[in-house]
Amino acid sequence: MITKRIIPCLDVKDGRVVKGVNFAGLADVNDPVALGRFYSDNGADELVFYDITASAEGRRLFTDVLTRVASTIFIPLTVGGGINTLEDFDRVLKCGADKVSVNSGALRDPSLIGKAAKKYGDQCVVLSVDARRVDGQYHVFARGGREDTGRELLDWVRRGVDAGAGEIVLNSIDTDGVRQGFDLEMLDAVCQVAPVPVIASGGAGCIQDFITLFKTLPAVDAGLAASIFHFGQVAIPDLKRQLADAGINVRL
């Protein structure tokens, strides 16, 4: 049985971890270095670091903060934000990232996925997708959820996997920060077309939401969350114990 992963997410803006609702109304949370170390020491399986305004501001990802985070944790690190070229992949990998998450950069240049997969391996390339419902369809959004690309979600996921993406992170803008549960409908649709690991992001509000996620959608490989971990509503060791009690395979 595949072990399900629990992944905290650090959304970083101006060198600080922030969190909002539906990708808006960002509030300061904590220092990313201290928070990353805390999660590494307290049972997180992996850590995701997003420089959430790099693409919207048209700049490179902040590597100084990233390097300090990478040097203090002992779990796999996925990094995204402002990844537009192979040079960007190289830069963040040299800072200590294990995987690189690409979103807006791939939307602008879909060939980036294949080029990166060929150079660094499929396992290094994570396609992060921000999606929400528009007129009854799932649309892909760019620039931190600010821009509707008009692309249909499932077509984009298929294209990314065919190009060499080794993992999909699905961020549902509709459920982001609302804490009413993961977007099971959208996740199910993606799992049906993606023969690679799928990470659920957006909407976790309590431990039961993770149990429901993994019980309802066994094809989902991991649950990613921010607010409930950052603000102490859920402790990862407690979450994992309850998942194990529910018959879900996790690393304790």
Write out the catalytic residue numbers: 11, 130
Closest CA to 83 of 48, 107, 120, 55: 55
Query: 113, 127 in Cβ contact below 8 A?
Result: yes
One-character DSSP codes across 81-108: SS--SHHHHHHHHHTT-SEEEESHHHHH
Please give the single-letter amino acid code of residue 56: A
Query: What does the alpha-carbon distance between residue 72 and residue 31 come to, in Å, rounded to a whole number?
Result: 13
Sign of CA dihedral 246, 49, 104, 166: negative
CB 140 within 8 A of CB 153: yes
Six token digits for residue 222:
């991991």
E strand residue ranges, 105-220: 125-134, 137-142, 147-152, 167-172, 198-201
Distances (CA, A) of 9 to 23, 35, 196, 228: 14, 10, 20, 11
Do residues 239 and 6 touch, judged by C-beta distance below 8 A? yes
Tokens 């298929």 correspond to what residue? 158
- β pairing state of 16-21 and 5-13: antiparallel
How far from each other are the two terminal CA atoms of the chain, in whole angstroms? 15
